[in-house]
Amino acid sequence: MPLPAHPIVQPAPEPELVTRARAGDREAFAVLYHQHYRIVYGFLLVRTRNRHLAEDLTQEAFIRALRRIDGFTWQGTAFAGWLTTIAKNLWLDELARGRTRWETPVGEFDDPRGTGSGVEGLVPRELEAVEAQETVRCALDVLNARQRHCVELRYLDELTPQETALVMGQTVGAVRTLTCRSLRKLRRSIGAVSV
């Protein structure tokens, strides 16, 4: 005897879920959690490079969000943007506590081939990295706030176009268009500086 078909239940729209969660509806918050967990976890995993720490910080981000949900207001940014901000603050707190260390594999210090990747090669590479970061920071100044936010999410935070669209409250097509225009503007700016 075949089982009866269950109707597919579509989740409520995000604003409705947030309103219900703000009113104390734990089920609505659970739906928001399941919809946004991957974005928050991915955001933290890219930064921490540690699966366990990213999982811990993701859980803490959602605990803080649950505690502060009544203070959330729509300000032109999607709920995912608010969660990402909480995650970013947790990550910065983690860095400030100094519990997260960036380690360099021992192999980089002792290169028997003498290709300059030993200790002598580390300092110039570190200086080049700092210089590159400063160049990127200056280049991003030519973008307006929306363009800059999009580029930062896509390339610095390493979010997919779909995740970026969710954070920005835009369609995937709008994010792709904004990304393309932003990169074109950056290329023109960098081209003008190098001439």
pTM to 2 decimals? Answer: 0.54
Residue-level pLDDT at 59: 95
Domain locations in the chain as residue ranges: 11-100, 115-195
Closest CA to 81 of 14, 135, 30: 14
Say how far apart CA 35 and CA 31 lie, in whole Å.
Answer: 6
CATH code of 115-195, in short, is: 1.10.10.10
Which carries the bigger pLDDT value, residue 152 or residue 118?
Answer: 152
Q: Let me know how long the chain is.
A: 195
Q: Is the pLDDT of residue 27 over 60?
A: yes
Contacts of 12 by beta carbon, 8 Å cutoff, 6+ apart? 20, 28, 31
Contact 83, 65 (CB under 8 A): yes
Contact 11, 35 (CB under 8 A): yes
Which two structure tokens, joined as six digits, stand for 90? 């947790």
Say how far apart CA 140 and CA 12 lie, in whole Å.
Answer: 37
CATH code of 11-100, in short, is: 1.10.1740.10
Residue-level pLDDT at 167: 81
Q: State the pLDDT confidence band at 123, using cuts at 50, 70 and 90.
A: low
State mean pLDDT over 93-113. Answer: 58
State mean pLDDT over 1-21. Answer: 68
CB-neighbour burial class of residue 71 (10 A; exposed 0-12, middle 13-18, buried 19+): exposed
Read off the pLDDT of residues 30-83 as tens digits, 9 standing for 90 and up. Answer: 999 999 999 999 889 888 888 999 999 999 999 999 999 988 877 766 788 889
Contact 70, 22 (CB under 8 A): yes
Contacts of 146 by beta carbon, 8 Å cutoff, 6+ apart? 168, 178
Other C-beta atoms closer than 10 Å to the C-beta of 111 total 14
Domain 115-195 in the same topology as domain 11-100:
no
